[in-house]
Amino acid sequence: MKDNTSREQVLKSVRKALIHPSEVDYSYADSDAEIYTTPEEESLELLFAKVFSSLKGNFIFCETKDDFPKILSSLIAENKWENVFCSEPEIIAMLEKGGIQFLSGEKDFLDCNVGITYCEFLVARTGSIIVSSRQKSGRRLPVYSNIHITVAYTSQLVYNLKDAFRLLKKKYEPGFPSQVTTITGPSQTADIEKTLVNGAHGPKEVFLFLIDDHS
């Protein structure tokens, strides 16, 4: 009886609120105000590296563009990677300059084990990589290969996700990419017997080469 009484009291309060709604003034609400405090002493590069690494991402900093193929070549040899695929013309030029063998034809796509792409932006606060369907690599490559390598520049770093979408809108105005994907480390799931599995729904490993273009 007590439970029924309590339930009736709650329902009665809800009905009263619906019949006599309170007047709330939202005219002074600031929907554009930043709810996260931007760190003043920590650089975006350092913040991104810390968060991205904590999410099991592999972060590699390159002082110049020439460092990228050198470090990548060592990684390929060390890990015995095969079937490296890339369709981004600027990255292809760096791979060719570094003497790195790669695939780029449509007929080779299904064989790729390592996919290399650019990105749109990097979000420092969440350690996220933003890619879109408007890139040369398209929708498939960032999620298809076992190992996803992203090449980015320090000028692509933003603090928050909102900043990335604002710049995306400005970049592709008046249109917008039909797909925008946020990559925040390799995917994880514990759906099967509560055992944590990395890379269950995409690449098992995610690498980020950050090239300094501020100097």
Mean pLDDT of the region 43-53: 95
Confidence band for 6, pLDDT divided at 50, 70 and 90: confident
For the domain 43-211, what is the CATH code?
3.40.50.10420
What is d(CA 59, CA 56) in angstroms, rounded to the nearest whole number?
A: 9
Mean pLDDT of the region 120-124: 97
Confidence band for 179, pLDDT divided at 50, 70 and 90: very high
- Contact call for residues 186 and 198 (beta carbons, < 8 A): yes
- Contact call for residues 209 and 151 (beta carbons, < 8 A): yes
Mean per-residue pLDDT of the chain: 87
- For the chain, the structural domain boundaries read 43-211
